[in-house]
Amino acid sequence: MKYLFAFFILSFNIHAEVLPVAARLEGAGTSLGAIYKTQNNNHEYLLGASVLDIKVIGGLYQFRLNNNLKIFVGGLLLKDLNFETSYLRGLQDDNDNKYTQNLDITAISMGAEYEIINKSLFLKFNTTKSTVEFGDYSIDSEKIDLPGANLFDVETLNIGLNLEFKLEDDRKEKGLLLSSGFNQLSGRKGQSDHLLTNFTLALKYPIIESVIFKFKALRSTAVASSSKYDKESEVRDALGVDCSGISNSSKRSECEKLENNLVQYIAAHNKYGTANAIGGSAGLRSFREQRFKAQNNQVTLTELAFRLSDYLNSTLFTKDRSLDLVSFYDTGYASDEKSELMDKHLYSRGVGLNINSENNTVMLQYSEGSYDSNAWFLSVGKSF
């Protein structure tokens, strides 16, 4: 899951700063916290924590061995996250199939970045060991009974390799990014091993003074590289849910519906694989985070940014800090059949305000789209 932070305002000195943070993500909730960041020669440290709906603590250490090679190690602990999800694949409307799932997540990661060509071509390697512990399911805060359910905790080893090419001007208003790579996911009890291939194209260009055009396309494809629990009968036996003993007919119906959704999704996931989910702040912004899942996913983001700070007489804005009024339009595709990926798409459109600094963008955006969806979010990250 992607965690995005906002509002860094207090600096102690040139090498260390405290970054108060706030975030609001559709389907995950809100968080408030702080990040401490410090740098000493070739060493950089980052520690952070947040509370409210997203309770997380984490850290990152980076060390530059030489001018070309940087290594990192990091980890996080996320407790008691209530995350909205569904088990329909592709672009189906899930208004009648949404659940709130309680999760605990721990992860540790290490990797390296090698600069092949100065500030242009990078080779990136990372490996992450994560554990997801599943808690209760609920609808409208009412717990769903799943008698006998064997919800395996998911321990995943993720190994990734990525080649990235980028060009950018000094003011970072013109840019091109091409990125291609793969991730191998293995070790998950009750799940097939998966190979994911990922591709990113991003373009940023000022079409006239103070108006910047941005475009981004992301494509992700999964392949199940091993066979495990890919038949519905096998999944049903492994889950071990027995709804028949629930006396309340409404509760029994909820149990049976969730069991069937889980069985169908897990069997398809193990047979086809599941690519990087789309939806939320990274694309299809009128939907919740990680809304759409399938073997093949694609999302495109088109944005026009009007540089308001060029017309504001304020010391808050400089060449390294600017304010944009943005208008955007996203399209998303998801299908288990590659040949059918482009047959149908969903859209999101909206407006927002972005505060751009040297390394991050604070985004406050509102969006509406297909299925009468709407969402707003506050976050920090790189918008493009």
Per-residue pLDDT tens over the stretch 105-157: 999 999 999 999 998 999 999 999 999 999 999 998 999 999 999 887 889 99
Q: Tell me, what's the pLDDT at 16? A: 59
Across 31-45, 77-91, 200-214, least confident range: 31-45
Q: Is residue 332 part of a domain?
A: yes
Q: Is residue 3 part of a domain?
A: no
Question: Which helix or strand (DSSP H or E) is residue 364 part of?
Answer: strand 361-369
Q: Is residue 147 part of a domain?
A: yes
Q: Is residue 175 part of a domain?
A: yes
CB 294 within 8 A of CB 334: yes
Range of the domain at 313: 10-381
| Residue 22, strand partner residues | 32
Distances (CA, A) of 294 to 11, 124, 219, 284, 342: 43, 26, 12, 15, 13
Task: Indicate the number of domains in the chain.
Answer: 1
Across 136-140, 148-152, 202-206, 346-350, least confident range: 148-152
Confidence band for 14, pLDDT divided at 50, 70 and 90: very low
Q: Residues 148-171: pLDDT tens digits?
A: 998 878 899 999 999 999 998 877
Q: Tell me, what's the pLDDT at 11? A: 32
Of 238 and 221, the one with more pLDDT: 221
Distance CA 231, CA 267 (A): 6
Q: Tell me, what's the pLDDT at 39? A: 87
Q: Is residue 1 part of a domain?
A: no
Q: What tokens appear for 344 in the block?
A: 């149908």
Q: Is residue 2 part of a domain?
A: no
CB 379 within 8 A of CB 25: yes
Output the pTM of the full model: 0.89
Q: Is pLDDT at 382 greater than 90 in this prediction?
A: no
Which residue type, as a one-letter code, is found at position 202?
A
Distance CA 173, CA 185 (A): 36
Confidence band for 373, pLDDT divided at 50, 70 and 90: very high
Q: Tell me, what's the pLDDT at 3? A: 38
Of 14 and 39, the one with more pLDDT: 39
Q: Is pLDDT at 2 greater than 50 in this prediction?
A: no
Look over the chain and give the mean of its residue pLDDT values, rounded to a whole number: 90
Average pLDDT over residues 347-359: 90
Q: Indicate which CATH number applies to the domain containing 165.
A: 2.40.160.50
Total residues belonging to the chain: 384
Closest C-alpha among 196, 197, 195, 193 to residue 226: 193
Confidence band for 209, pLDDT divided at 50, 70 and 90: confident
Distance CA 299, CA 219 (A): 7
Q: Is residue 94 part of a domain?
A: yes
Distance CA 122, CA 357 (A): 23
Q: What tokens appear for 148 in the block?
A: 């006998």
Q: Is residue 366 part of a domain?
A: yes
Q: Is pLDDT at 318 greater than 80 in this prediction?
A: no
Q: What tokens appear for 325 in the block?
A: 């009024």
Across 3-7, 136-140, 219-223, 237-241, least confident range: 3-7
Q: How many CA atoms lie within 13 A of 343 on its CB side?
A: 10
Distances (CA, A) of 40 to 14, 23, 69, 250, 364: 10, 28, 17, 61, 32
